[in-house]
């Protein structure tokens, strides 16, 4: 059956035909294609067409698709049992790696998704501080948690609904949503809600409204304000964790949060999440403390085996230096291709986004000024030529270690042709 046939079948049984809205192509028009296999830097559709992939299963495929070393350990782990419901050694090995690599994490707990990780961070921050309100930033997406799906990014933004139905107004009022890169707005919020704010949660590098960077000193200011006000600082590093550096964005920028949410790369392609931080905060979790959090499949042996294999492979290959080199090669070529055009390229390591407007882009308001119709034309121009980018202006693209110099050359050729065809 073709992709079109599978999509019609999906529409009959799955809301919108997809199990995650970001896959629906609503931001670019048309219908999604269906994949039957993936290897290295390439996807293979059900029709047998090969696509050069820059979505990387939305971030986890940092080694490329189906890396042999990860596949082998998953097969071995599955043969030993796919779930135990008891503690097992791989959980402890993973905890040791996370605590060794992520600068701020002294203790960590495994969960099953990035959404679970951020949800747990917020509950823990509220329980630890005894306060109810939280601050988040417009355009930062922290999963589909009720209290965090307020002025969010990712699929919610793509579909023109930064908020969601089903979230009680009373709960939404506990979330203060502010412009990113605006220190004064943060200070004003603390003045207006003295002693009420439990935490600030942020993507240190917002990557769900396109990609934009913290201005110099902004993350440091958040750290100072939280210390002054007795609130916790939470970094959502589900996307940046283990991707921009071994220790994530907090290593790159040298700012230590109190709690960190992790996911994506941590599972080697299998469903996983984690959250960790200072020991005194983490010890508030059940069974030692009063903050309850649990999960039957948390620390699943297949996910732990896959994640450990992926992280250790990254370490062996000096991955971050190699990814930076590939990213620089792509950036140089794209900057040449867009010279003189109303386009702006943002990149951090192996994460990048081509904004369809002149910069600077520092927050959600500026990101929403993108020419989404022009992006859609460019997206489909690339897809017709065999290059798959995220199907939304408000998502981030990813490089992997499997992307070769030849892949970059092919991508730059396709990008130039798609830009010319689009009349940009």
Helix (H, G, I), strand (E, B) or coil at 205: coil
| 107 is a catalytic site residue | no
For 100, counting Cβ atoms within 10 Å of its Cβ (0-12 exposed, 13-18 middle, 19+ buried), the class is exposed
- Catalytic residue, candidates 54, 141, 212, 388: 141
Residue with tokens 């109303």: 342
- Catalytic residue, candidates 133, 212, 264, 388: 264
| 236 is a catalytic site residue | yes
Helix (H, G, I), strand (E, B) or coil at 23: helix
| 141 is a catalytic site residue | yes
- Catalytic residue, candidates 53, 133, 212, 236: 236
Q: Per the structure block, which two tokens stand in for 48?
A: 């047998």
Helix (H, G, I), strand (E, B) or coil at 65: strand
Sheet with 133-137: list strands edge to edge: 107-111, 273-277, 259-263, 232-236, 197-202, 133-137, 175-178
What angle separates helix 405-422 from helix 372-384, to the nearest 10 degrees?
A: 130
- 170: Cα within 13 Å, side-chain hemisphere: 0
Helix (H, G, I), strand (E, B) or coil at 42: strand
Look up residue 245 and give its DSSP letter: B
If we measure between CA atoms, which residue out of 371, 309, 317 comes closest to residue 341? 371
Q: Per the structure block, which two tokens stand in for 329?
A: 């090669």
Residues serving a catalytic function are 141, 236, 264
């Amino acid at each position: 059956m073709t992709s079109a046939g599978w999509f019609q079948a999906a529409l009959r049984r799955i809301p919108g035909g997809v199990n995650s809205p970001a896959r629906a192509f609503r931001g670019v028009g048309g219908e999604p294609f269906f994949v039957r296999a993936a290897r290295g830097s390439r996807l293979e559709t059900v029709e047998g067409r090969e696509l050069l992939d820059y979505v990387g299963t939305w971030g986890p495929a940092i080694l490329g698709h189906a890396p042999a070393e990860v596949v082998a350990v998953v097969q071995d782990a599955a043969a030993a049992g796919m779930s135990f419901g008891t503690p097992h050694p791989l959980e402890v090995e993973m905890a040791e790696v996370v605590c060794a690599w992520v600068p701020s994490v002294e203790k960590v707990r495994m969960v099953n998704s990035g959404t679970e990780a951020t949800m747990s961070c917020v509950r823990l921050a509220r329980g630890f501080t005894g306060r109810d309100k939280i601050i988040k930033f417009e355009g930062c997406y922290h999963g589909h948690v009720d209290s965090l799906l307020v002025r969010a990014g990712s699929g919610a933004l793509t579909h023109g609904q930064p908020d969601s139905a089903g979230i009680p107004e009373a709960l939404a009022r506990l979330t203060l949503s502010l412009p990113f890169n605006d220190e004064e707005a943060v200070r004003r919020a603390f003045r207006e809600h003295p002693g009420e704010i439990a935490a600030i949660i942020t993507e240190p590098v917002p990557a769900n409204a396109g990609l934009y960077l913290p201005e110099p000193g902004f993350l440091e200011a958040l750290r100072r304000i939280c210390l002054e006000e007795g609130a916790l600082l939470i970094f959502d590093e589900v996307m940046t964790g283990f991707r921009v550096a071994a220790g994530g964005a907090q290593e790159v920028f040298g700012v230590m949060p109190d709690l960190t949410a992790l996911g994506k790369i941590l599972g080697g392609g299998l469903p996983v999440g984690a959250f960790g931080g200072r020991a005194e905060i983490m010890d508030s979790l059940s069974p030692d403390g009063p903050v309850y959090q649990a999960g039957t499949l948390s620390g699943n042996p297949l996910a732990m085996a896959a994640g450990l294999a992926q992280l250790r492979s990254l370490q062996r290959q000096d991955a971050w230096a190699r990814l930076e080199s590939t990213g620089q090669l792509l950036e140089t070529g794209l900057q040449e291709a867009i010279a003189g055009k109303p386009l702006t390229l943002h990149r951090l390591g192996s994460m990048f986004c081509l904004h369809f407007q002149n910069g600077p882009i520092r927050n959600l308001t500026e990101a929403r000024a993108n020419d989404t119709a022009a992006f859609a034309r460019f997206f489909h121009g690339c897809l017709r030529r065999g290059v798959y980018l995220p199907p939304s202006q408000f998502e981030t693209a990813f490089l992997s270690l499997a992307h070769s110099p030849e892949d970059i050359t092919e991508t730059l050729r396709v990008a130039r042709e798609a830009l010319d065809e689009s009349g940009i």
